Structure 1
């Protein structure tokens, strides 16, 4: 992979023969980072603090890429890189970029029914699934969104899935984006906490009773606001009216067959990952393994938008994140399939 070699060469070029990032290299990389992402710091102290966090991230990126080179050679798949939140501390990243707790529909990995949630086993013996599914290429998934410093991945997941399934079933082109901000502001009525934390289950409960409006009439502002009831209640604004969603179904946890079936037959599926993993946070491109995804608690939500296989035969899930286009391949990532049920 030529791109992999070039990116690693850029990172390694910052490192002297001793293998340690020196002050000059870090300073130069930090200046480039500031210019690229138009960073503004309020004081000398703030700038110094951010440089320290950036240096720690840069070291993680170098170590991850060097490890993959040492183990697998230049043909390695996973590549780490610097993105727009490389100057965040770990605590700040978790507070602003994650959902606060398990963002999945069910807070349990057990397949039992919970609060009206039905699980489907996904038996597909009599159904021949396609070798590849890509709802992005099919025009049923919008561009990756950026949640900014609002911990609302649950809202972005639900909006992404709802608008995608709406497009698939109606055939409307271009696709109509649904309002994320409506879920941030209004699903507090079902237990979510806006930009602090939330879960899909509570967001879907809200959508079932209240519907969803177009993003054009209720745009995303990446911060908490008061629910705009007059906009939400207007039939002219609603893509989904109250009651349009009768029920929702969870995919049996850790079942690749069930997830493939739902993707192929219905559309994108929201899943959970360990978003605190440094390698997931710093992902640039390639296929992530469970090592990159991490095995900690599930605290971030992404959406699976397809599956396939690389030319080398590596099976993957195609996912869309909510951290903007500086993460992954312009907001898109790939996670290895058939690896202990990742993602969950």
Structure 2
């Protein structure tokens, strides 16, 4: 039995329609499962349609990246997958350098790997939500860790009090500002939102800050051996937003356009010899590796990891 060309075209068209419908049904189901997983809800149908379009775009980017040979990290459809990278809350980090006192010498006996989390001096990961003051969170975390290292107790210090220092420090050194306002209170004790010293006891106190030589990852290594370090990076790439695991390595990120802050808590090397920095983010435990990212280390100061690094003293 033979079929006409039109018949074959009809069969092909039916198969194509069936396949497209199957694909649409599959992605619709995936979308619904994703919204349930991250407890997503939208005010209007139009907003959901817009978010889904962004999600589909990010889904395609994730699949394309993860199927690329030789990549050192994986991307995933995390809770930010319905947002474009351009619409993420960004901050400018033009703060002045803290006291530029050079780190004394290079330690040729520095350990091959190091992680402050193993010493119990790093606060749990939190989700800052849409709050743009990431600097306040990372400053609070750095001061808390510094206090735990030197006084033996890890306190949950007030982000609201840290926000006062962070906002003031946009024109000056952040840890110098913490020192000038008298320190940070416990989160449950902070009772004022103005710029005056609060009546609560300030348990998170520092004498100021030091800055790593800009762009020098060897100095950055010496700094993190003293205490967790506040680092500024370029987090504008969608690959960072959708980061899931592995060593983040994107040559498109800039060493100078810094728009996000992380807490550097250590460093290491994978089985293939690729070096990384261990950094704590503030986008919740559903992002990255339980809220952490391995940033590429000793690779041309990628993403500006050492461009504006500072730590309390």
Q: Same fold (TM over 0.5)?
A: yes
1:278 pairs with one of 224, 227, 238: 238
Cα gap change, 1:45 to 1:124, in 2 (>3 Å): same
CA–CA separation in structure 1 for the residues paired with 2:86 and 2:248: 23
CA–CA separation in structure 1 for the residues paired with 2:252 and 2:79: 19
Query: In the TM superposition, what is the alpha-carbon distance from 1:228 to its structure 2 partner?
Result: 5.3
1:85 pairs with one of 61, 73, 80: 80
Tell me if 1:190 matches 2:168: yes
Q: Deviations over 1:24-59 (max 9, x none)?
A: 333222111110111111111111111111111111
Q: RMSD of the alignment, in Å?
A: 2.6
CA–CA separation in structure 2 for the residues paired with 1:293 and 1:317: 16
CA–CA separation in structure 1 for the residues paired with 2:254 and 2:240: 8
Partner of 1:9: none
Q: Please, what TM-score do these two structures have when normalized by structure 1?
A: 0.75
Tell me if 1:208 matches 2:179: yes
Query: In the TM superposition, what is the alpha-carbon distance from 1:217 to its structure 2 partner?
Result: 2.6
2:208 pairs with one of 237, 244, 247: 247
Partner of 2:6: none
Report if the CA contact (8 A) 1:122-1:258 is conserved: no
Tell me if 1:179 matches 2:158: yes
Query: In the TM superposition, what is the alpha-carbon distance from 1:253 to its structure 2 partner?
Result: 1.5
Partner of 2:93: 102
CA–CA separation in structure 1 for the residues paired with 2:74 and 2:213: 30
CA–CA separation in structure 1 for the residues paired with 2:109 and 2:173: 34
CA–CA separation in structure 2 for the residues paired with 1:50 and 1:60: 15
| Structure 2 stretches lacking a partner, 5+ long | 1-18, 307-313
CA–CA separation in structure 1 for the residues paired with 2:58 and 2:124: 26
Cα gap change, 1:275 to 1:171, in 2 (>3 Å): same
Larger of the two Rg values belongs to structure: 2
Partner of 2:15: none
Tell me if 1:233 matches 2:193: no
Q: Please, what TM-score do these two structures have when normalized by structure 2?
A: 0.82
Runs of 4+ off more than 4 Å: 292-296
Report if the CA contact (8 A) 1:189-1:206 is conserved: no
Cα gap change, 1:154 to 1:303, in 2 (>3 Å): same
CA–CA separation in structure 2 for the residues paired with 1:209 and 1:42: 44
Cα gap change, 1:235 to 1:46, in 2 (>3 Å): closer
Q: Deviations over 1:94-123 (max 9, x none)?
A: xx2x3x2126x54xxxxxxx5x63142553
Tell me if 1:260 matches 2:238: no
Structure 1, 201-210 or 254-263: larger mean CA deviation? 201-210
1:157 pairs with one of 122, 126, 138: 138
SS of residue matched to 2:232: strand
Query: In the TM superposition, what is the alpha-carbon distance from 1:290 to its structure 2 partner?
Result: 3.9
CA–CA separation in structure 2 for the residues paired with 1:252 and 1:295: 14
CA–CA separation in structure 2 for the residues paired with 1:45 and 1:178: 41
Partner of 1:7: none
The aligned runs of 1:52-91 (5 Å cut-off) are 52-67=53-68, 71-72=69-70, 76-91=71-86
Q: How many residues were matched structurally?
A: 283
Tell me if 1:139 matches 2:120: yes
